Amino acid sequence: MYLKFSAMKTKEKVNPIGLKGNLRIALKQTQQELEEMALQFSLGKAEAADKFEETKKEFKTKIHAWKGLFQEQSEQGKQNVQKVIASLEEAQVQLSLGKAEAKEAFEKQKKNIIHSLDTLERAIKANPTMNEWMIEVKSESERLKLKLEILKLKYELKKFRITDDFKSAMKDVKNETEKVLDKVEEKWDDTKSRYTDFSDEMSHVYKHFNKAIKSLF
């Protein structure tokens, strides 16, 4: 599922109400996917190595789509887009490494994947012509990082269970999400429109996601 954060894709004027809706969808999707992954592991319906491969494949598809769209921008004369494309290509390389059967192999790949995602975010943030993509890229990247944290637990633990603390923490995430979304209209800058930076608000919610994941053990 691809969210319509960018005017490049929607050809529509971005407004705070629309952005608020898209952020809600993104955060809700993150929560659903994390809960589904945790449930699959708790029921023994997925193995860590197989799920890791599936997760990498899904994100590679997103990287491929972004790369195509960013290359269009490059052809239109946008400055420094090639640095972003190079970061995407590096992420593709890290996501294409072999199957990680052991914890050590997973940890190495995880570290390199996260580094490539952080590099991508910095490349986009440093390029004002691409700031409209920051929310989408950060949202998708943070979701992947959270999935990697759940996968890390699966590689480490022989038993995997959904705790009451996890369920409670996920309810807290919903509450924090609504608090953050209420700030979107307050922070909206009509002079910058879609370029307004909501990274801090998103990071606040992702911290609560991390707290929920840690409650799984």
121, 86, 129: which is closest to 206 by C-alpha? 121
The pLDDT tens digits of the residues spanning 145-178 come to 999 999 999 998 877 888 899 999 999 988 888 8
Domain residue extents for the chain: 15-214
CA dihedral (190, 187, 182, 136) in degrees, to 10, reads 80
Dihedral Cα 122, 128, 129, 131, nearest 10 deg: 60
pTM of the model: 0.85
Q: What is the dihedral of CA 158, 159, 160, 166, to 10 degrees?
A: -120
Give the pLDDT confidence score for residue 16 in this predicted structure. 60
| Per-residue pLDDT reduced to its tens digit, 206-215 | 888 998 998 8
